[in-house]
Amino acid sequence: MLTPHDVRRNVDRVPARFESLDERFGRTDGDAFLERLFGDGRWLEGPAYFPAGRYLVFSDIPNDRVLRWDETTGAVGALRQPASYVNGNTVDRAGRLISCEQGNRRVTRTEPDGTITVLAERYRSKRFNSPNDVVERADGTVWFTDPSYGITTDYEGHQAEPELDGCHVYRVDPSGEVRAVAEDFERPNGLAFSPDEQTLYIADTRRKHIRRFTVADSTNLMAGEVFATCDNGSFDGLRVDAKGRVWAAAHDGLHCFSPEGDLLGKLLVPEIVSNFTFGGARLNHLFITATTSLYTLRVNFNGASYPR
């Protein structure tokens, strides 16, 4: 179990470097430093901010634990360990934690009393590969990606043969029905809705690009053209800000794209970035998971606010 003392030793600061590549990036910046809140991970992922409790949940996948950072005290402790190699997390409209369990190959919801509700664990009677990242839409549907990272080796899951014919993107209805909504990905990963939830962006890590889909009839995806290509490593987690700009985790930091797909600028980070989220009362507090570390900084822009 981690103690506040263990965590305090890891808190330090590194310069925050915003790199403008387009005049439309403007005065996008924030703190002059990145604060390292935690530095003892093996591969950190899945940050999800709980505004009611003022805390952040994030995953340390190979160490099979979900951690919790308390904003009021700065302490980090184990929320769940073992944790079935949880990868992506999100907070639903009711304030509950939704997680992608790579070990159990399922998507779950943690209820207020701590019990676990399984939202999806099979498609057409076959087990998923290893659910990776997840978002919720205002209509109560849950959308998630299912690459094979958790079954390829025992490093962040349990090595196993895939039961499905590929790595797809799925939607879970409030009724529990699971439907494949995109089946032409190689390794689908991060995903994020536009502020009006009419567009869904999905990263394909193996192909090193982001695709843009139109949400049709609130249930299905249409189009799916390539929106942006990565120029440093590959894309992982995605988020959209209040201006509709798409931010993507990459090997050198966070890349910012215009709604048209133009690379506007970057926030450079000293480790490979896996994922990030907007938190704080005004969604202007960035939390970044990058290889071994959890970083944070206050910025002068805001994350997207979604319909309730």
Q: Is 45 annotated as a binding residue?
A: yes
216, burial (CB in 10 Å: exposed 0-12, middle 13-18, buried 19+): exposed
Query: End-to-end distance of the chain based on CA atoms, in angstroms?
Result: 36
CA-angle at 63, arms to 152 and 59, nearest 5°: 90
From the list 114, 100, 178, 112, the residue with the least C-alpha distance to 146 is 100
Q: Is 220 annotated as a binding residue?
A: no
Catalytic residue of the set 236, 241, 252, 262: 236
Confirm whether residue 236 is marked as ligand binding. yes
The Cα–Cα gap between 252 and 267 comes to: 8
Q: Is 132 annotated as a binding residue?
A: yes
- How crowded is residue 15: how many other Cβ atoms within 10 Å of its Cβ? 10
CB atoms closer than 10 angstroms to residue 109: 18
CA–CA separation, 101 and 83 (whole Å):
8
Whether residue 71 is annotated as binding a ligand: the answer is no
Task: Print the SS3 string covering 241-290.
Answer: ECCCCEEEEECCEEEEECCCCCEEEEEECCCCEEEEEEECCCCCEEEEEE
Alpha helices, H only, the chain: 4-8, 149-152
| 40 is known as an active-site residue | no
Instruction: Give the type of residue at 43.
Output: W
Catalytic (active-site) positions: 236
Provide the annotated binding site for substrate. 132, 156
Provide the annotated binding site for a divalent metal cation. 45, 189, 236
Provide the annotated binding site. 45, 132, 156, 189, 236
